[in-house]
Amino acid sequence: MKFRVNRSKLLTELLPMQGIVERRTTIPVLAHLLLNVKGDQLRLAATDLDVSLTSWTDAEVVSEGAIAVQARKFMEIVRSLVGEDVDLALEDEKRLLISAGPSRFKINGLSADDFPTLPEVSEDNKVELPFTELKAMIGKVIFAVSTEESRFQLNGALLQMKSGALEMVATDGHRLALVENASSIDESSEGVLVPRKALQELLRFDDEGNVVFLRGEHHLCFKLGRRELICRILEGTFPDYERVISKANDQKAVFERKALYEAVQRVALLTGDRARAVRFSFASNQLTISAANPDLGEAVEEVVCEYGGEELRLGVNPDYMSQFLAAVGTEKVRLELKDENTQCIGYPVDGEDQRYLCVIMPMRI
C-alpha cells in the first residue's frame, strides 16, 4: 500500500471518526481506524460494534492495501504535520510510514483482517430527509435521552415516520421532549429507536442536502455525502408517550426565553450537586425563582411574565428547564401548569416546528 492524500481533506474525514472509536475497551482493535486504499480513494472506517462510521477521500494511489491504525495517535500525527500533502506507505503488514515535509513517522498497527466486519443495510426501503431539519430535530430532544444503561429502551430517541410528518421523541422518565415536522413521507411506518451515540454523531456532521435513511432488520443507516453511519437498532418497547402528556394543564405563563434561561441559571448556582431543585412561585404576571441550600445559602430572582392564573408553586430541576430553554430556539416560551403535583409542559411561542414540547415532572422541595 502506497498513496498520497491531501492533509486538510484527510483531517476533515478523520474528525468525525474520533467520536465512534472506543478509547477504553478490552478489544484493542476497536481503538483503531481501518485505512483501506482502493482505486483512487482512501476509505476510512471506525466502529464500536454498535455504531460504525465509514467515509472516503480522494488519493493518488501507487498501490492498494489496508491496515488498522491507532485512531487517536494517527489523528494527532496528521494534525501536527506541515505541508499540503501526506505520503503514506506500508513498511510491512503492521507498520505504516507517514511522511510530510521534513517529518517522518512509523507507527505500529494491526492487520486489516483483525478489524470487525461492518454491517450492511439493504436499500430496499430508503427514505430521503433534509439533513438540516433532521439535525435540528435531534438537537431538540437529545437532552431528554436517558443515560442510565439499565433503562436500555430509553437510551435513544424514537424516530416515527408518519404520512406527511416526521416525529422524534425522547424521555428519561423525569422529562420528555417531542418534536414533529411536516415531511414529504408518503406512508407511515413503525417507529424505531435510534441510540444516543448515533444521534450525537449525527449532530457532529455539518453537511447539507438530503440524508438517505435506510432501515434493516437489526440496523439503521444514515448516508450523507461521503459518510455512512450505521447503528444497531435499540430493542425494547418505548413508553406510550402521548398518554404521558397532560391535557389538563389550564394555567399558562409566557416568558421571554432568554430572561427565564438566565434567571434559572443564576438561581441554580445555590443548589447542591445532589439536590438539584429550584422553586417556581407563580403570581400575577410574575415568577419568583428561589433556591435554598443549608451549606451554601439562598438565591431569589423575580422574572416578569404574562400570567393571570392562581398562585401556585412547584419544584423544578433547573438543568431540565435550562436544557429545554437552550434547545427551543424561539424568543418567547409558554409554560403550561396545573398544580404542584402535575408536570410542567414547555412550548415555543411562534416556533417553526409543527409541534414541539417538553414535559418536566415536578420535584418535592
3-state secondary structure string, 95-153? Answer: EEEEEECCEEEEEEEECHHHCCCCCCCCCCCEEEEEHHHHHHHHHHHHHHCCCCCCCHH
In the predicted model, is pLDDT for residue 207 greater than 90? Answer: no
For residue 352, pLDDT over 90 is answered with: no
Cell of 2: 502506497
In a domain, 121, yes or no: no
For the chain, what is the domain count? 3
Q: How far apart are CA 121 and CA 192, in angstroms?
A: 15
Q: With contact defined as beta carbons under 8 Å apart, do 86 and 10 qualify?
A: yes
Q: Is residue 304 part of a domain?
A: yes
Find the mean pLDDT for residues 286-297.
92
Q: 258: part of which helix (H) or strand (E)? A: helix 257-267
Asked, for residue 120, whether it belongs to a domain, the answer is no
Within-domain flag for 31: yes
Domain boundary among 192, 212, 242: 242
Both 8 and 38 in one domain: the answer is: yes
Residue 288's pLDDT band (cuts 50, 70, 90): very high
Among 205, 222, 242, give the residue marking a domain's end. Answer: 242
Claim to verify: residue 220 and residue 286 sit in the same structural domain: no
Give the helix/strand (H/E) hosting 203. Answer: helix 196-204
- What is the model's pLDDT at position 186? 72
- What percentage of the chain's residues is helix, strand, coil (to nearest 5)? 25, 45, 35
In this structure, the answer to whether residues 250 and 235 fall within a common structural domain is no
My answer on whether 97 and 197 are in the same domain is no
pLDDT bin (cut points 50, 70, 90) of residue 23 is confident
- Tell me, yes or no, whether 97 and 44 share the same domain: yes
CA distance 263 to 269: 10
Domain boundary among 76, 91, 114: 114
Percent over 70 (pLDDT), the chain: 100
Smallest CA-to-CA distance from 50 within 70, 71, 68, 27 is with 27
CB atoms under 10 Å from CB of 356, counted, come to 23
Q: Are 116 and 45 in contact (CB under 8 A)?
A: no
Q: Which domain range does residue 197 map to?
A: 126-242
CATH of the domain at 65: 3.10.150.10
110, part of any domain: yes
Q: How far apart are CA 35 and CA 101, in angstroms?
A: 22
In a domain, 256, yes or no: yes
Beta bridge partners of 307: 253
Residue whose C-alpha cell reads 507507527 in the numeric block: 107
Q: pLDDT by residue (tens digit) across 4-13?
A: 999 999 999 9
Sign of the dihedral defined by the CA atoms of residues 74, 76, 82, 83, in that order: positive
Q: What is the rounded CA–CA span in Å between residue 70 and residue 85?
A: 21
DSSP 3-state assignment of 20?
coil
Quickly state the pLDDT bin for 46 (edges 50, 70, 90): very high
- Domain contains 119: no
Does an H or E element contain 306, and which? Answer: strand 306-307
Confidence of residue 236 (pLDDT cuts 50, 70, 90): confident
User: pLDDT tens digits for 105-151?
Assistant: 999 999 999 999 999 998 887 889 899 999 999 999 999 999 988 88
> How many angstroms separate the CA atoms of 119 and 228, rounded?
11
Q: Are residues 82 and 151 in the same domain?
A: no
Q: What is the mean pLDDT of residues 309-322?
A: 95
Whole-prediction pTM: 0.91
Nearest to 349 by CA among 359, 361, 357: 357
Residue 358 forms beta bridges with which residues? 177, 346
